[in-house]
Amino acid sequence: AQSVSQHNHHVILSEAASLELGCNYSYGGTVNLFWYVQYPGQHLQLLLKYFSGDPLVKGIKGFEAEFIKSKFSFNLRKPSVQWSDTAEYFCAVNGAGRRALTFGSGTRLQVQP
Amino acid sequence: EAGVTQFPSHSVIEKGQTVTLRCDPISGHDNLYWYRRVMGKEIKFLLHFVKESKQDESGMPNNRFLAERTGGTYSTLKVQPAELEDSGVYFCASSQGVNYGYTFGSGTRLTVV
């Protein structure tokens, strides 16, 4: 069965700090990988996705993620966070042949001004 | 384009009552998914429709949950009778297909008291 681990449950950063949120998955086949964000009071929004090709994926709002197949990882990064990045971040995966997403438990990011 | 619409946004019901949640996907999206997030836990898959057919219902917790998608348009998720452990946020998502992302609704927060 697929599983996704997000190692950090709650991260507190100051503005302009760099961000890296960890995501590891367990799945034996080809995977599609996603990062979603949920801002307070809003719906889940897609930050970026990886299906194939360049393992370094750039998303919206300056976020990027790197797929490292050998480590089963898809960590999310941003060089300089802003207060408006305060939100909950979810890593998700689906495997070839199964369209439903398997989510990690989420990481709550709090950016202090 | 209009997004995925869910209603109600909040519902508070007593244990043993029935509740019906509704999801209107983006027009033209054949794939419709239901997910649930119980407080503090990860977002978990419930089921997947392709048009009006249930493609995968492996995540449905028990037979108190009934999902329908009449005519392949909107979907309903009925919980009857509701139990305390059914409390959580129920998300709906739609997608054009496997190579596209998923668009989520704002969710319905269900509280069973």
- In chain B, which residue ranges form alpha helices assigned H by DSSP? none
Q: What is the mean pLDDT of residues B81-102?
A: 91
Q: Nearest residue of A to residue B41 by CA position?
A: A105
CA separation for the pair A51, B100 (Å, rounded): 10
- Asked whether residue B1 carries a pLDDT value surpassing 70, the answer given is no
Which residues from chain B sit within 8 angstroms of residue A51, using beta carbons?
99
- What digits encode the pLDDT tens for the residues A16-75? 999 999 999 998 788 899 999 999 988 999 999 999 899 999 999 999 999 999 999 999
Which residues from chain A sit within 8 angstroms of residue B59, using beta carbons?
100
Close Cβ partners of B32 (under 8 Å, ≥ 6 residues apart): B23, B25, B48, B49, B69, B75, B92, B93, B94
Q: What is the mean pLDDT of residues A9-14?
A: 96
Per-residue confidence at B45, pLDDT binned at 50, 70, 90? very high
Cβ–Cβ under 8 Å, residues B95 and B101: yes
B107 lies within 8 A of chain A by CB:
yes
Which residues from chain A sit within 8 angstroms of residue B35, using beta carbons?
101, 103
pLDDT value, residue A96:
63
Per-residue confidence at B40, pLDDT binned at 50, 70, 90? confident
Contact assignment for B45 to A100 by CB distance below 8 Å = yes
